[in-house]
Chains A and B, each alone.
Chain A
Amino acid sequence: MSRPLPKAGRYALRAASLAAALGLWQLLTSLNVDLWLRFSQFPTVADVARAFAGRLSGPDYWTDLTDSLTRILTGFLLAAVLGVATGVLVARSRSAEDLLGPVLEVVRPIPAIALVPVAILLFPSNEQGIVFITCTAAFFPVLVSTRHAVRALIPVWEEAVLTMGGGRWRILGSVVLPGALPGIFGGLSVGIGVSWICVISAEMISGQYGVGYRTWQDYTVVDYAGVFVGMVTIGVLGWATSTAVELLGRRLTRWLPRTSYVAGARPRPVKAAAAPASTRADHAPSTEEARDEHLV
C-alpha cells in the first residue's frame, strides 16, 4: 500500500480534480467540438461564470437560494425525526410492525415526485406541498436504515442495562439510539441526496422561486448559461449539505473503531497517556484471538 498523502496534498488533489473537469469543459465548448456529442450550442465555462456573476449581484438569486434551502431543510429535518421514530418503533414493537409495516411497504416504492398530484390536492399552498414531497423522499431511506440498525444491535448491551435496573426509556436513550446512530447516519446521507432530487423536481413542476424553478424558467427562455448557473448552484448546495450531514455523523460516531489508516488521517492524541504498570499482568492482545484459544 502506498504511503497516504499529507492533508494539504489531498486537498490539492481534490482541487486539481475539479479544475481538470472545468478545463475539459472549457476546451470542448470553446473549440465547438462536434464529434457525435455536440458541444457547439453549449455555453463555455467563461459564459457561465459571467452569467453567474450577473446573478449574484441581482436580488432573485439569493431569494431562490434561501427558498430552496428552507424547503429542503424543513423537509429533511421532519423526515429525520419521523424516520428515526418510526424506524425504532417498527423495529422494537411487533404490533407497530404489524400496524404500520404494510402501509409503509406499499407507499415506499412510489417515487416521491409522483406524489405531486397528492401534494396539490392535500395542501393549501405550493410551499407545503414541496416540503411534503421532500420529506417523503428522505423519510424512507432514514426509516429503512434505522430499522435495520436497531435490529442489528447486540442484545448484550440491552441485557447489561436491564440488569442494572434500566427501563424502556433508559434502554432507548442509552442503548438503542446511540447504538443505531452509525446506521441512522447512513440513511440520513442517502436521504439528503434524495431530498435534493425531489425539491428541485418539485420546484420545476409547481414552485414559485427556488433554484429548480429558476433553472426551468431559464430553459424555457433559452438562457442556457442561466440553466448552468442553476445546475452549478444545485451541485454546490447539495455537496455542502451532504458534507454537513457526513461531518455531523462522523462527529457523533467517533467511538466507532476505525482502521489505522483512517485513524492516522484524522490524528487524535488518544494513546498519549502511557499507562503506568498496573498492579496486575494484563497483556491480552486481542479478545477474539484469545477467546478461540481458550475454548474447551
Chain B
Amino acid sequence: MSTSSDTDVTATPIARTKAPAAVRGTRLTLRGADLGRPDAPPVLADVELDVAPGEILTVVGPSGCGKSTLLRTLAGLLSPPAGEIGQDGSPVTGPAADRALVFQEDALLPWRTLRANVELPLAIKGSARAERRRQAESWLARVGLADHAHQLPHRVSGGQRQRAQLARALAGAPRAVLMDEPFGALDAQTRAGMQDLLVEVLRGTGATVVFVTHDVDEALFLGDRVALLGNGRLTAVRDVPRPRDRTAHDDPARVALRRDVLSSLGT
C-alpha cells in the first residue's frame, strides 16, 4: 500500500495554523519513483508520495531502509533512476535554496562561527552584510543560542550544534525543510527539548517538513502523517491523531497507531 497519488488538496491534512504573511509551504511529489544512487540497484522502488504544503510528514523505517535516500532525492541531491519528482507540479532537477536539508551529522562548517554558519544561506541569497547579521542573530536567539553566536561549532555541545543547524536551515526562508534524523545523535532529554523547539520555531514559517527518524515516538509526536518504509518500499502513510500534543501520548487512537507502526516495522 502506498499513498494514493490522486489524493487531492482537500484530502491532505493541513493541521498546522499558519501566520498569514508567512512563507507558504511547497508540495513535494514522487510518482512511481525508484530511489537510489545511479550506479547501484534502487534502495526504494516505485514510491508514490505526496507531501502537502505546510504539513509535517515523518518517515520511519529500520536502518538502511532508504530514509536518507528518500530525503536526498527530495532535496535534489540524488535524481531518481526511474519515475518523477516534482515540486508544486514542476520537476525537481537539482538542489535549491527553497528545499533546505538538515543533516544528522555535523554539517556546520567548522571554520565558521555559529553566526557565520547561519549567515551563509543569506549570503548566498545576496542579502547585505548588516541585514544578514541581524537575521542570523535573531535566528540564533530563537533557538536559544544568542550567547554562543561567536563560538566555533566544535566548542559547543551536540545539541547546540543541531540547534544552530536548524537556525541555518530556516534562515534562508525555505519552503520545505528536509530533516535527516536531526536529533538522532542526542540523548533522550535533549531530544525532547529539541522536538519542542522545532515545533516552536516552525510555527509561523508555514514550511513543509519531511522529518526522517528511527524513533517511532518522535515520528508520532511531530508528524501530521507518518510514512513507513520497509523491504525497499514505502509501505504505508498514516494520519497521526493529535500531532504535537504531549498529552496525547495515552490517546487510544495514538496507542493503536503506535502498535501498528511498531508491528509493521517488525520490532
The interface of chain A, by Cβ under 8 A from chain B, is: 156-157, 159-166, 170, 174-175, 178-179, 181, 253, 255-257, 270-271, 273, 275-276, 278-287, 290-291, 293-296
Chain B residues 36 to 85 lying within 8 A of chain A, measured CB to CB, are 62-63, 72, 75-77
Contacts of B100 in A (CB 8 A): 163-164
Contacts of B160 in A (CB 8 A): 282
Contacts of B190 in A (CB 8 A): 280-284
5 closest A-B pairs by CB: A165-B97, A280-B193, A287-B158, A284-B158, A255-B111
CA distance A57 to B21 in the complex (A): 78
Instruction: Kindly provide the distance from the CB of B173 to the nearest chain A CB, expressed in whole angstroms.
Output: 11
CA distance A286 to B96 in the complex (A): 32
| Given A273-B147, A287-B161, A296-B62: A174 in contact with B109 (beta carbons within 8 A) | yes
Q: Chain B 106-117, CB within 8 Å of chain A: the 1/0 string?
A: 110111100000
Asked if B144 contacts A157 (CB within 8 A), the reply is no
Tell me whether chain A's interface is mostly helix, strand or loop, or mixed. Answer: loop
CA distance A188 to B72 in the complex (A): 37
> When the two chains form the complex, which single residue of A163, A174, A255 contacts B110, counting CB atoms closer than 8 Å?
A255
Contacts of A174 in B (CB 8 A): 109, 120
CA distance A164 to B161 in the complex (A): 18
CA distance A286 to B161 in the complex (A): 11
Asked if A163 contacts B109 (CB within 8 A), the reply is no
Interface check B121, CB cutoff 8 A: yes
Asked if B158 contacts A286 (CB within 8 A), the reply is yes
**22 CB < 8 A contacts A-B:** A156-B107, A157-B107, A160-B107, A161-B120, A163-B77, A164-B120, A165-B97, A174-B120, A175-B109, A178-B111, A255-B110, A270-B155, A275-B147, A278-B145, A283-B187, A284-B187, A287-B185, A291-B184, A294-B186, A295-B184, A296-B62, A296-B215
> When the two chains form the complex, which single residue of A156, A253, A279, A281 contacts B189, counting CB atoms closer than 8 Å?
A281
> When the two chains form the complex, which single residue of A178, A270, A283 contacts B109, counting CB atoms closer than 8 Å?
A178
Instruction: Kindly provide the distance from the CB of A4 to the nearest chain B CB, expressed in whole angstroms.
Output: 21
Q: Which of A161, A256, A270, A296 has the most CB of B within 10 A?
A: A296
| Given A165-B95, A275-B148: A296 in contact with B196 (beta carbons within 8 A) | no
Instruction: Kindly provide the distance from the CB of B216 to the nearest chain A CB, expressed in whole angstroms.
Output: 9
Contacts of B93 in A (CB 8 A): none
Interface check B221, CB cutoff 8 A: no
Q: Which of A159, A165, A166, A170 has the most CB of B within 10 A?
A: A165
